[in-house]
Amino acid sequence: GRMSGPAHPRVTSVALLVVKETTPGTLYALYEVLGSAGVAWPAVTGQRTDAPRLDVRIVSADGKPFAGVMGVPIAPHAALDAAGAPDVVIATDLDLTGLADPRGRWPAEARWLAQQWRRGAVLVSVCTGAVLLAEAGVLDGAEATTHWSAAGLFRDLYPAVRLRPERVLCPAGEAHRLLTSGGAASWEDLALHLVGRFC
């Protein structure tokens, strides 16, 4: 018979980083879509695939369940100190309503993101999640995009970021280890990009 691929395709680990301001829609949409890569196709078609998989986990500072924006429950799989060494870290969008100055608001998460960056992880943001990457200092000097409503906040508080708010996706840095995406609906473009890149 024909040569078959590996029985266990390689896995890329993805951490979805959540904070109290994380909005649930994009978080759970990305969790579902990225977790379905290489899994849904054989289930739906009966055809085998050797596509690499994405192992997706939700992580937070303390790993404890909490009521997110609009009261939707968010139950992380792990705390940051137990999150291992993910290949990709995604900061999904934040509800910044009434938060004029987010600087210093997420110190543990910012430190962890900076550690992941130094370690070689790919850092990604959706929409206003770019603020978390800015807090970690990793966007300084880099091109980045975010939701149009946060453009003023970036100009005022994170002037070292070369903001490109008109872009849907904005790869930056060596080997495109930084990847920011624009408005809320751009998570779909981001998901397709990540599946194409890692699977």
If one compares 187 and 42, the residue with the highest pLDDT of the two is 187
Reported as a pLDDT band with limits 50, 70 and 90, residue 4 is: very low
Ranking 3-17, 18-32, 76-90, 167-181 by mean pLDDT, the lowest is: 3-17
Residue 91 in this model has a pLDDT that exceeds 50 = yes
Query: What does the alpha-carbon distance between residue 55 and residue 13 come to, in Å, rounded to a whole number?
Result: 5
Residue 7 pLDDT class (50, 70, 90 cuts): low
User: Which pLDDT score is estimated for 2?
Assistant: 43
List, for residues 98-147, the tens digit of each pLDDT value: 888 999 999 999 999 999 999 999 999 999 999 999 999 999 999 999 99
**What is the reported pLDDT for 8?**
58
Hey, what long-range contacts does 67-74 have (CB within 8 A, 24 or more apart)? 68/18, 68/20, 68/22, 68/23, 68/24, 68/27, 69/21, 69/22, 69/23, 69/24, 69/95, 70/23, 70/24, 72/24, 74/18, 74/22, 74/24, 74/27
User: Over 97-149, what HEC string results?
Assistant: CCCCCCCCCCHHHHHHHHHHHHHCCEEEEEHHHHHHHHHCCCCCCCEECCCHH
pLDDT digits (tens, 9 = 90+) for 65-79: 999 998 999 999 999
